Structure 1
Amino acid sequence: MSSTATDIRSAVFARTDPAQPYVTYLGSDGRMELSGASVINAAAKIANALTSEFDCDPGQQVALHLPWHWQRVTWLLGIWSAGCVVVPQGGADCDLLVAGPRQAPDLTGNVIVVSMHPFGLPLGPDDMAALAPGAQDATIAVRAQPDQQVFIDDHSDALALDGHTQRQLLERTRHVARPLTGVTRLGLHPDDSQWWLPALWPAVTGGSVILGQYGDDGFGSEPVDAVL
């Protein structure tokens, strides 16, 4: 069942069955599947951490330096749930920089680091040793947050990405989805040209996304209905 919500958090909540898969990540380090309920909880924790731990207010810019991973999906949704603006590959002029362990050492500014462990475990000693002074492990702050978002507002008309509001991003996703009616499991190859799609496709269609790798065998034995 598709959602007509204009606020991203509301669109995710409107998904019919929260127990069904939302995103499946297929990486060299293994397979990870998150249900709609798990994604909702993760996004709420991230939004709470952004507000209470990292002092991000609605409208502030959050640079995202995360690789093709399920963490990118949850962080996009968490940032938008907090009413903040995602700036892909943004610089030190952003209010906060969110990066993976490999990307973080090259960044300056207010940097927090997201673990790429398949199960989202905190950073290991080697990862911590490579970080610049002042960089924080985001996992510890996020895990301590409630599963339900504390500060909730309608951010339909808040800027979200590339000058588009949340309302507009949801409409763009619905436009992509229209020719693919009946597709419930959408396979996606690594692609940074449509940052919003893996996070929002399941919200507007009720289906799920499979984050594969490059090449014809990028989805292995994972069943998909269509590939973009």
Structure 2
Amino acid sequence: MTITIPQVFAAAVGRDPAAPLLTWYDDATGDRAELSGATLDNWVSKTANLLVDGVGLGHGDAVALLLPPHWQTAAILLGVSAAGLAADLADLGGDPQPVEALFTTPERVERAATWATTDRYATGLLPLAMPLREVPAGYADFVTEVRNHGDHFRGQPVAPADRAFAGPIELSHADALAAAEDRASQLGFGAGDRVLIDVTIHPDPVDWLLAPLVAGASAVLCANLDETKLDARANAEKVSLVLAG
């Protein structure tokens, strides 16, 4: 039976809500964050409530993500999907498309100006989910705003034929999950695996987020990977497969 991204995520959380589902490392900053399924689900629900109750978006609206791979990017993308909205993965390239809201970092504000929307959120992707010290003009701080919203989301059901991704490449939920299944098979992981992924090599969230979810795997995401730490990290994180250079 064809399913949707929110259903795949709910199944991943339901297998063991307390187990690590997504672990994040940035070797440039020393940041490490470990999110259980329950913790990530909380961020996803808050994000969906922000978009629906805070911004007032409706089923099928598009949201631009000018964000690099990160655990907060995962929460925002999954929150967009939970709300029945379509994610425009603007950071992967392509010309600006019509969107109703936008998420970015302060470093990408100049590029983000080419997307025409008044609902704009910035995040510094900082350790411990710290808010920005200085919020760019015309933006709200995502980390500050999202915490004001509910821990549970109850929205309209999402259908497999609904848009999951907008922009230069439009994919339905069914098509996105089929692509994720193919990528999991190509990359060589399946149910129960714990996969370490160098997100510089695999920047597409189909690879670093959806493929592990649909396969029943958990992910250890690494940015600015220091290869001298790779073996020790893989051992400490009980990694079964390494996808790095």
Q: Please confirm whether the aligned pair reaches a TM-score higher than 0.5, indicating the same fold.
A: yes
Distance 1:219 1:169 in 2: 33
1:11 is aligned with what amino acid?
V
| CA 67–181 in structure 1, closer or farther in 2 if over 3 Å, else same | closer
Alignment match of 1:6 (pick from 3, 6, 14)? 3
| CA 204–219 in structure 1, closer or farther in 2 if over 3 Å, else same | farther
Query: Within 5 A, what are the aligned runs for 1:47-126?
Result: 47-89=48-90, 91=96, 93-108=98-113, 109-110=117-118, 111-124=120-133
Match status 1:155 vs 2:159:
yes
Task: Give the share of equivalent positions with the same residue, in percent.
Answer: 26
Distance 2:201 2:150 in 1: 32
Query: Residue 208 of structure 2 aligns with which residue?
Result: 198
Query: Residue 233 of structure 2 aligns with which residue?
Result: 222
Query: Within 5 A, what are the aligned runs for 1:109-188?
Result: 109-110=117-118, 111-124=120-133, 127-128=134-135, 131-132=136-137, 134-161=138-165, 162-178=169-185, 179-181=188-190, 184-188=193-197
Q: Secondary structure at the match of 1:55?
A: coil
2:175 is aligned with what amino acid?
Q
| CA 7–92 in structure 1, closer or farther in 2 if over 3 Å, else same | closer
Distance 1:182 1:199 in 2: 14
Count of residues in Structure 1 that have an aligned counterpart in Structure 2: 220
Structure 2 gap ranges (5+): none
Q: Secondary structure at the match of 1:13?
A: helix
Query: Residue 36 of structure 1 aligns with which residue?
Result: 37
Q: 1:69-104 deviations in whole A, cap 9, x for unaligned?
A: 111111110111111111122637321111012212
| CA 215–144 in structure 1, closer or farther in 2 if over 3 Å, else same | closer
Query: Residue 20 of structure 1 aligns with which residue?
Result: 19
TM-score scaled by structure 2?
A: 0.81
2:146 is aligned with what amino acid?
V
| CA 117–215 in structure 1, closer or farther in 2 if over 3 Å, else same | closer
Tell me whether 72-81 or 218-227 shows the greater mean CA deviation.
Answer: 218-227
The two structures, once aligned, show a CA RMSD in angstroms of 2.3
1:155 is displaced (CA, Å) by 3.2
Q: Which has the higher contact order (CA 8 A, sep 6+)?
A: 1
Q: Which has the higher helix share?
A: 2
Q: Secondary structure at the match of 1:14?
A: helix
Query: Residue 213 of structure 1 aligns with which residue?
Result: 223
Q: 1:8-52 deviations in whole A, cap 9, x for unaligned?
A: 111111121121111111112311111111111111110010001
| CA 101–64 in structure 1, closer or farther in 2 if over 3 Å, else same | same
Q: Contact (CA 8 Å) 2:69, 2:205: kept in 1 or not? A: no
Distance 1:10 1:53 in 2: 24
Distance 2:228 2:96 in 1: 31
Distance 1:72 1:219 in 2: 24
Distance 1:23 1:35 in 2: 7
TM-score scaled by structure 1?
A: 0.86
